[in-house]
Structure 1
Amino acid sequence: MTPEGGRLFDRPDEELGRIQDGLRQLADHYGMLRGLLDAVLAIGAELELEPVLHRIVDAARTLVQARYGALGVLNEAGQFIEMISSGFCRDHSAARGEQLPHGTGLLGDLVRDPRPLRVDDLAVHPRAAGFPREHPVMTTLLGVPIRVRQAIYGNLYLADKKDGPFTVKDQEVVMALAGAAGMAIENARLYRRICRATEDFQRRLLPEMPHLEGWELQARFQPSSRAPCIGGDWYDLIRLSDGVSCLVIGDVMGHDVRAAIVMSQISNMLRVIALDEQESPSRVMCHLDRVLHWLHGGPMATVVVARLEPVGGSRLRLRWTSAGHLPPLLAVPGERARYLYADVGVPLGVDPDLPRTDNEIELPGGAVVLLHADGLVESREQSIGQGMSQIAAVATAYAAAPLARLCDAILAHPGGAFEDDVALLAVRPPA
């Protein structure tokens, strides 16, 4: 007892220790909440489903300091259809040809009874089913279900927390993350449905390639990797009544449904004008520009119109005009592919009274003419000129290959994901 009133005072160092422990717990709690917020924001920022799933597992594992993590995706029958892992080589199981879990052990318990599950020692748990060959041995486990609306989408598994068993607080924060994950997965699914629908809509606006005896014809359309996955790029090949093939590539300004609708209007008008007039490309382009100005106020678009015209025997010449579009690319086996730089007029919709010029070149035997939109060569990492040089290099390497293989190689370079729509038309006339 003390003379000051009979209270026993704690030793100062013990009191200071308790204060420090409290501050550490508060800091840890704040740090976990901040980590949860960061994880939710990171997951919500992704729209593609596969990256969303990987972000969920990585974020959960980081959040509770677990060595290993996995997300098991279930079908409607409660069977595993995919397993996304983190902390253990993602390609390891696939390389071994390992089958997905059958759900007979603890993983199956969480499937059948979708409630949080914590295990402090897997080695002594009666429902533990062991580990696959070459899989790391794990000691502790935390599992929580992921719900998308009211359905169980899958389960999130975390193993071997670095500083001991998983706690109730770990379980609570992972459950909160799982709730955000369900919303992110639903958003990614909606995004994928929108992309598929808009891509299907635009593909239906594009023409089918005609069959020309002895000719190789290939066309490709690849939508932008960014929403709304629709725009104003198109290609066309029109077989005129005089036997001339008219090639078209175009790009309407804008990246939305309106751009796709305008693209359809321009494409149809150009077909009618080309079939009716059968004149030089420059005259066709001038007529098109005037009609668009009169009827639609002159929508902005870049276009190339080209004719493959006979010049005697089996020889052909390419005659084209450009309304602000990239030039044709010529690929001849055994030679370096090159862009046919020439006079480039202004885009459609600028001034319908400005004159336009024709350019022409006689085609060597076996030559391939490629027309493409700027989405193929445009990116934030490099200039259009660098992109064009890369495409020309691919065309050089595949100039003698079948056109399908050439086009596939072009679209696969450099990574196959494009920030803008890509339209590509390739023609190889009979030699």
Structure 2
Amino acid sequence: MLPTLPERLPGLEVAARYRPCGAGLDIGGDWYDAFLMPDGAVALEIGDAQGHDVDAAAFMGQVRSFMRAIAAHEPDPGSVLTHANQLLVAMDAPRFASCTMLHINPGNGQITGASAGHVPLVCAHDDGSHDIRRLPGGPVLGIVPDADYPQETLTLGRDTALVMVTDGVVEGPDLALDAGLEQAGTLAAQALRDGLSAEKTADRLLDAALAMNHHDDLAVLIVRVT
């Protein structure tokens, strides 16, 4: 139910990974997506639907489809999240979902983004440093009627990789969220400094999360301006 990323997104290098939380039907509701917008911008999103079962996966598929459909008619991530939330509330959806959505202009690296109660972004730099970026936004989708989702604009330089993750990658029984974000930032920055591709960087983050034996599904989405 997860998308196949476009083979080529002009001006960008994008990689994604997903691992379920267990065998059998323990598949969870994490997702990612990347697609071209009508105006030539690239939309990226990552999210986490409540639950770890087939119903969670089905709900995830609905939310991802809603987001794509709305994005075809809305000019910015804040509006997409606002309308997605209104739709889920109107449907009296049985679950909720967190999500971060970005629109990237590959020509100048300008990013507009908003969050619906999701994990902060990690910005990794090729000098080995990193920082954590908490986007503005609002509550998780499907709970609060008429919620507002303000957005922010930033610039992604050629020396930086933007790392988007779900909470299973950076949080667990023995790892607090802030510490997990710092760990992910350190790993991504080291990979960037070592000249690894976005694909290899995503693998490194996923391997580190799996080594901690978290009982949650995992999703990673990494983007660089080329």
Check whether TM > 0.5.
yes
Q: 2:47 aligns with which of 247, 250, 269?
A: 250
Give the TM-score normalised by the residue count of structure 2: 0.91
Q: Identical aligned pairs, as a percentage?
A: 30
Q: In structure 2, list runs of 5 or more residues that go unmatched.
A: none
Query: In structure 1, how many angstroms separate the alpha carbons of the residues matched to 2:225 and 2:5?
Result: 14
Number of equivalent positions: 222
Give the TM-score normalised by the residue count of structure 1: 0.49
Query: In structure 2, how many angstroms separate the alpha carbons of the residues matched to 1:252 and 1:358?
Result: 21
Which residue is equivalent to 2:34? 237
Query: In structure 1, how many angstroms separate the alpha carbons of the residues matched to 2:102 and 2:10?
Result: 20
Question: How does 1:66-145 map onto structure 2 within 5 Å?
Answer: none
For residue 276 of structure 1, give the secondary structure of its aligned residue in structure 2.
coil
Deviation at 1:296, TM superposition (A): 4.2
Question: How does 1:203-282 map onto structure 2 within 5 Å?
Answer: 205-210=1-6, 211-225=8-22, 228-277=25-74, 279-282=75-78
1:188-238 CA distances to partner (integer Å, 9 max, x unpaired)?
xxxxxxxxxxxxxxxxx0000002245322110011147642111000002
In the alignment, does 2:99 pair up with 1:303?
A: yes
Distance 1:416 1:221, change over 3 A: farther
Structure that is richer in strand per residue? 2
Matched residue type, 1:244: A
Which residue is equivalent to 1:317? 110
Query: In structure 2, how many angstroms separate the alpha carbons of the residues matched to 1:254 and 1:351?
Result: 19
Which residue is equivalent to 2:151? 358
Query: In structure 2, how many angstroms separate the alpha carbons of the residues matched to 1:225 and 1:390?
Result: 23
Distance 1:294 1:247, change over 3 A: same
Q: 1:409 aligns with which of 173, 183, 204?
A: 204
Distance 1:242 1:342, change over 3 A: closer
Matched residue type, 2:224: R
For residue 413 of structure 1, give the secondary structure of its aligned residue in structure 2.
helix
In the alignment, does 2:167 pair up with 1:371?
A: no
Q: Is the 8 A contact 1:332 1:364 kept in 2?
A: no
Query: In structure 2, how many angstroms separate the alpha carbons of the residues matched to 1:252 and 1:206?
Result: 13
Q: Is the 8 A contact 2:115 2:137 kept in 1?
A: yes
Which residue is equivalent to 1:50? none
Runs of 4 or more, structure 1, over 6 Å off, are: none
Q: Is the 8 A contact 1:289 1:298 kept in 2?
A: no
Query: In structure 1, how many angstroms separate the alpha carbons of the residues matched to 2:115 and 2:145?
Result: 14
In the alignment, does 2:211 pair up with 1:418?
A: no
Q: Is the 8 A contact 1:325 1:344 kept in 2?
A: no
Matched residue type, 2:83: H
Deviation at 1:305, TM superposition (A): 0.8
Query: In structure 2, how many angstroms separate the alpha carbons of the residues matched to 1:219 and 1:342?
Result: 20
1:86-107 CA distances to partner (integer Å, 9 max, x unpaired)?
xxxxxxxxxxxxxxxxxxxxxx
Structure that is richer in helix per residue? 1
Query: In structure 2, how many angstroms separate the alpha carbons of the residues matched to 1:288 and 1:308?
Result: 20
1:11-30 CA distances to partner (integer Å, 9 max, x unpaired)?
xxxxxxxxxxxxxxxxxxxx
Which residue is equivalent to 2:138? 345
Q: Is the 8 A contact 2:137 2:151 kept in 1?
A: no
Query: In structure 2, how many angstroms separate the alpha carbons of the residues matched to 1:290 and 1:240?
Result: 22
Matched residue type, 2:104: L
Query: In structure 1, how many angstroms separate the alpha carbons of the residues matched to 2:98 and 2:11?
Result: 30
Which residue is equivalent to 2:191? 398
Question: How does 1:42-57 map onto structure 2 within 5 Å?
Answer: none
Query: In structure 1, how many angstroms separate the alpha carbons of the residues matched to 2:135 and 2:36?
Result: 25
1:257-294 CA distances to partner (integer Å, 9 max, x unpaired)?
111000000000110000122x1111111011111222
Distance 1:267 1:342, change over 3 A: closer
Query: In structure 2, how many angstroms separate the alpha carbons of the residues matched to 1:300 and 1:274?
Result: 19
Distance 1:416 1:208, change over 3 A: farther
Deviation at 1:405, TM superposition (A): 1.3
Query: In structure 2, how many angstroms separate the alpha carbons of the residues matched to 1:413 and 1:301?
Result: 25
Q: Is the 8 A contact 1:324 1:345 kept in 2?
A: yes
Higher relative contact order (CA 8 A, sep 6+): 2
Q: Which has the larger radius of gyration?
A: 1
Q: In structure 1, list runs of 5 or more residues that go unmatched.
A: 1-204
